[in-house]
Chains A and B, each alone.
Chain A
Amino acid sequence: MRDTIRFTLNGKPVSLETDPARKLLWALRTDLELTGTKYGCGEGLCGACTVIVDGQAIRSCQMDLASVQGRSVTTIEGLAADGALSPIQQAFLDHDGYQCGYCTPGQIMNAHALLLNHPKPTRAQIVEGMDGNLCRCGAYRHIVAAIEAAAGQGRQS
């Protein structure tokens, strides 16, 4: 039941002796004490737990540790290099792409992956790519503006 799970987390190797059926979300939040990744629904319906695995946005509440073996995981804590905000973080800050902030790490990670795959996304691509990330406070228009700004095609929100 226990296994050694090795993967790269925010650029550094990590190793966990644990049950490989556990979900990445809870391993991040408990064993690894990276609490930026949030629980929202536990069923992959809200996007609050979004992290990036090998360049793709995934719902960490749905991914078991066995599937993370040998892969590269980036969380919200891994975006700012040496304290400098990444362009997408800076854009969320500049464009008020948040209110309560709870869904924000998931929004930012999903947006970051979107930009990795579509460096110059159209408005329609942004909306399609972000539609599974819920924000109850209603910051959506500002999130769109932030993503457009980070892609270098922004207009004022």
Chain B
Amino acid sequence: MTGLARNTRLDRRGFVKALGGGVLVLVSAPGLGGPAWELEAQRRPYPSDINAYLHIAQDGQVTLFSGKIEMGQGIMTSLAQMAAEELGVDLDVMHVVMGDTASCPWDAGTWGSMSTRFFGPAVRAAAAQARLVLTDLAAEHLAVPRAALVVEKGVVYAKADRSRHVSYGELAQGQQITRTVGEKAVLRSVREFSVMGRSPKRLDGRDKVTGAAKYAGDMRLPGMLYARILRPPAHGATPKSIDTTAAAAMAGVTVVNQNGLVAALAADPELAARALDAVKADWDVPASTVDGDGIHAYLVNQAGEPETPVSEGDLAAGRSASARTFDVEYRTAYVAHAPVEPHTSLADVKDGKATVWASTQSPFGNQPQVARALGFQPENVRIITPYVGGGFGGKSAGLQSVEAARLSQIVGKPVMVDWTRADEFFNDTFGPAAVIRIASGVDAGGRIVFWDYQVYAAGGRGADVLYDIPNRRVRVYGGRDREHYHFFGTGPWRAPGANSNKFGYEQQVDAMARAAGVDPLAFRLANTKDPRAVAVLHAVARASHWTPQAAIRRDGRGRGLALGADAGAYVAHVADVVVDRATGAVKVEKIWCAQDMGIVVNPRGAEIQAEGGITMGLGACFSEEIQFQGGKIATKNFDTYGFTRMSWVPEIEITLVQNDKLDPQGGGEPGIINMGAVIANAIYDATGARMTRLPMTPERVLAEIRKV
């Protein structure tokens, strides 16, 4: 039951035929893909109107085909749960094929906590429709009207006489039924759930604890070579001279130097690495003095004109109505995705076709990229996505797939491009450093009446206004798509933008509460009527036994609170910290998180995702920061890029706030968004020091404590 389909590429008709007998349900849910989807529909002969296939085989086994990928977030299991629930089968007959461009329907990519939110409804609709199709077949077979039938575990029974029954497998015998459905279907209600809303063992678990799970780097083809690729000393550097003579003279080594791609290849990756070391290269490196300390002023200066997604009321009136105003600048650092699996692809280019096993969040994005690089039509490129060893937003660009495919085309053999850790830090598309400037004001009654928010480089996600503020403006400068803005690649990093925006946002709210002498929880509750925000605030307060406290503790122990919304979910966090005033070291003792994510498909999976976000967020809080000067990346391995270790992890308590009126919302990202603010607010409570810069290293904490 792995995600590795190995059949050859088929068009839709061929695919349907190859599945043989059985019942095939094709799901068409318009609007799932957005503009990219429309573009894709024009470009490809492949059925772009289809989001998912569901196949019921003659042995009763059910296979879901999805262009999504499994990178640890558990959707292989949760998507199967949704299908099994609506179809009326046990989870153990479910199989999931993911991320194979030859057998799975087109998908924009696995990101943005969208799999469950947007793809989930399509899967449920398909399965619900399949259940109707099968029940109709059963009605015919048993000569009992549909209304008098009931489905249990893949068997259709006559309600009046349970000895009369027929299984899905039997119904699929000799059939070749294809149905296409839209979004409309009667779905089972939360009360009826028997597979959804539970936490079964993950379908990928056994493979992962036995080492049997295959990742791109574990694929093997006869005659394959490993490539080590020459990287410039800095982004923007150009080669003055490259001498590959010594490398090419090494036994068993093939050297490539074509159109900027310089690589040493060998059957043994260590030999390839030694050969690359023997390549002599001289570079022109553009001079730059901008580093981690100077980057924030640089980003502000280079930002250009803003977009203004929010503008309401009268800012000048808001400012003058304020009893106190606050002008604060918050800064964040470039952060790496740092999945333990580096970007990896194995490419086999031959006979005018390319097959690429890729560690990617976007197989259907890699496909045209590889095709362009090879001069192929996209349909002659097949991307297969085995298990992905972590993505966090960093595995969407397909550079390593393009490198592998080009090298395979050049050398005429299968080529594995498995980035070294240094390659990974050099080529990663970092979460951008950002600046958040907030001017805000609170009136004498403790109401936020003025909010003028500017964010640079992080983008607008999470910058929306959650509180009831009459006079407000949000300006977004140098958004994520701005080109030539950074010295190196940047891109989405788990809850992109939201984690940076909330760092400033929720500290500003905290600062206003503290200055007004109001308990931070009471202050937030007084300033929002949003029922979901109120619900998560109450839930996290209950879980953490929140006791109202107007004045800060300042005794080295502190408690922080933060509120946010992301990917359709609402989250509130509370953190307890202990600050060592002598060293600036912060120990997090416990974190509570209350999350409303609508209907919960898999409660344990949802908790684990929230916990993963919290754990990852701790690294960004305390130590994650790319060291650079201009395009030169000094960070090369984990010794200089510390992320959360086991010893840092506090107690974590997740509360899922029941909200069964709402369809399932995102779960992979919301848990991380408040981490910077909740920790900073706790440090403030403990010390009176306001931490406006991420990461909050001991040196920076100490420096701020000394200013108090």
Check B646 for interface membership: any CB of A closer than 8 A.
Answer: yes
Given contacts A96-B202, A102-B389, 10 further A-B contacts (CB under 8 A): A29-B217, A42-B420, A76-B211, A79-B210, A93-B209, A98-B72, A136-B392, A140-B615, A141-B611, A144-B646
Check A13 for interface membership: any CB of B closer than 8 A.
Answer: no
Residues in A with CB closer than 8 Å to B511 are: none
* Contact in complex: B420, A104 (CB < 8 Å): no
* Contact in complex: B211, A140 (CB < 8 Å): no
CA distance A133 to B215 in the complex (A): 19
Residues in A with CB closer than 8 Å to B604 are: 96
* Contact in complex: A127, B209 (CB < 8 Å): no
CA distance A32 to B73 in the complex (A): 31
A87 CB to closest chain B CB, in angstroms?
A: 11
Check B270 for interface membership: any CB of A closer than 8 A.
Answer: yes
* Contact in complex: B647, A131 (CB < 8 Å): yes
* Contact in complex: A23, B270 (CB < 8 Å): yes
A147 CB to closest chain B CB, in angstroms?
A: 10
* Contact in complex: B612, A102 (CB < 8 Å): no
B540 CB to closest chain A CB, in angstroms?
A: 19
CA distance A40 to B207 in the complex (A): 19
For the complex of A and B, 10 pairs with smallest distance between CB atoms: A36-B211, A138-B615, A102-B389, A100-B72, A101-B208, A76-B211, A99-B72, A35-B218, A138-B612, A45-B638
Contact of A105 among B211, B270, B644 (CB under 8 A): B211
Check B9 for interface membership: any CB of A closer than 8 A.
Answer: no
A35 CB to closest chain B CB, in angstroms?
A: 4
B residues lining the A interface (CB < 8 Å)? 71-74, 201-202, 204-215, 217-218, 220, 267-270, 338-342, 387-390, 392, 418, 420-421, 604, 608, 611-616, 637-639, 643-647, 649, 652
A-B contacts at CB below 8 angstroms, number: 160
* Contact in complex: A101, B387 (CB < 8 Å): yes
CA distance A39 to B341 in the complex (A): 7
* Contact in complex: B643, A136 (CB < 8 Å): yes
**Which residue of chain A has its CB nearest to the CB of B648?**
A140
Chain A contact residues, majority secondary structure: loop
A156 CB to closest chain B CB, in angstroms?
A: 11
* Contact in complex: A93, B652 (CB < 8 Å): no
Check A75 for interface membership: any CB of B closer than 8 A.
Answer: yes
**Which residue of chain A has its CB nearest to the CB of B649?**
A140
Contact of A45 among B389, B612, B639 (CB under 8 A): B639
A77 CB to closest chain B CB, in angstroms?
A: 5
Check A5 for interface membership: any CB of B closer than 8 A.
Answer: no
A60 CB to closest chain B CB, in angstroms?
A: 13
Residues in B with CB closer than 8 Å to A131 are: 645-647
CA distance A98 to B389 in the complex (A): 11
Residues in A with CB closer than 8 Å to B645 are: 131-132, 134, 140
- Interface residues of A, count at CB 8 A: 57
Residues in B with CB closer than 8 Å to A93 are: 201, 205-206, 209
Residue of A37, A42, A143, A144 contacting most chain B CB atoms (<10 Å): A42
* Contact in complex: B340, A103 (CB < 8 Å): yes
CA distance A57 to B647 in the complex (A): 19
Chain A positions 101 through 136: 1 when the CB is less than 8 Å from some CB of chain B, otherwise 0: 111110010000000000000000001101111111
Residue of B210, B341, B649 contacting most chain A CB atoms (<10 Å): B210
**Which residue of chain B has its CB nearest to the CB of A33?**
B220
Check A22 for interface membership: any CB of B closer than 8 A.
Answer: yes
CA distance A77 to B213 in the complex (A): 11
A-B contact pairs, 19 of them (CB 8 A): A23-B270, A35-B214, A36-B211, A37-B211, A38-B215, A40-B341, A77-B210, A85-B209, A89-B210, A98-B208, A101-B208, A102-B387, A105-B211, A131-B645, A134-B645, A136-B340, A138-B613, A140-B615, A143-B646
Check A41 for interface membership: any CB of B closer than 8 A.
Answer: yes
CA distance A41 to B608 in the complex (A): 25
Contacts A40-B421, A41-B638, A136-B339; A127 near B72 (Cβ below 8 A) = no
CA distance A133 to B614 in the complex (A): 18
Chain A positions 25 through 60: 1 when the CB is less than 8 Å from some CB of chain B, otherwise 0: 010011001111111111101101000000000000
* Contact in complex: B270, A136 (CB < 8 Å): no
CA distance A34 to B268 in the complex (A): 15
Residues in A with CB closer than 8 Å to B208 are: 98, 101, 104
Residue of B209, B647, B652 contacting most chain A CB atoms (<10 Å): B209
B201 CB to closest chain A CB, in angstroms?
A: 7
CA distance A33 to B645 in the complex (A): 30
